[in-house]
Copies of this chain bind each other. A is one copy, B any other.
Amino acid sequence: MQIKNIIEEKNLKLTAARRELLEIFNFEQRPLCFEDIKDKINMDKATFYRNILMFEKESIVRGFESNDKKRYYEIQGSAHSHFICNLCNDIECLDEVRPKKLSGYTIVDTIYKGICKVCNKES
């Protein structure tokens, strides 16, 4: 979907900062934190976090905390779970669609933590 459409669909102003952010998240299609992209973007960190907050509220991106105390954000696409390595802190998107059900709960995200393929081989 076009970035312009994403923004207009939610009745948000299309600013340079928002376009920049959505272009990166749309291209990368993986979870990124502020540190990952701060050198590629042309805005203050306050602007980054305020826009991300808005994107999360509007369900344009989704975020989660990783082991490194940073929050990672990813554009909303098809539902999938994530694997976070306890050793190298790498985050992987798993293609698995989670049919997991828990009565009374709404499961939005599933995160597996453990040791990734690379780190498993090295040990």
* Interface residue ranges, A against B (CB under 8 Å): 64-67, 69, 83, 86, 94, 100, 102, 104-117, 120
Cβ-defined contact, B120 with A114, below 8 A: no
3 smallest A-B Cβ distances: which pairs? A108-B114, A104-B117, A109-B113
Kindly list chain B residues whose C-beta atoms are within 8 Å of the C-beta of A117. 104-105
Given known A-B contacts A65-B66, A69-B69, A106 and B114 have beta carbons under 8 A apart: yes
Interchain CB contact under 8 A, A113 and B107:
yes
Whole-angstrom distance from the CB of A109 to the nearest CB of chain B? 4
Contact partner of A83 among B66, B86, B105, B113, CB < 8 A? B105
Q: Which residue of B lies closest to A113 (CB)?
A: B109
The interface residues of chain B lying within 8 Å CB-to-CB of A111 are 110-113
Could you tell me the distance between the alpha carbons of A83 and B102 in the complex, rounded to whole angstroms? 10
Given A65-B69, A67-B65, are A102 and B106 also a contact pair (CB < 8 Å)? Answer: no
Q: Is the CB of A114 within 8 A of B104?
A: no
Chain B residues, Cβ within 8 Å of A115: 105-106, 108
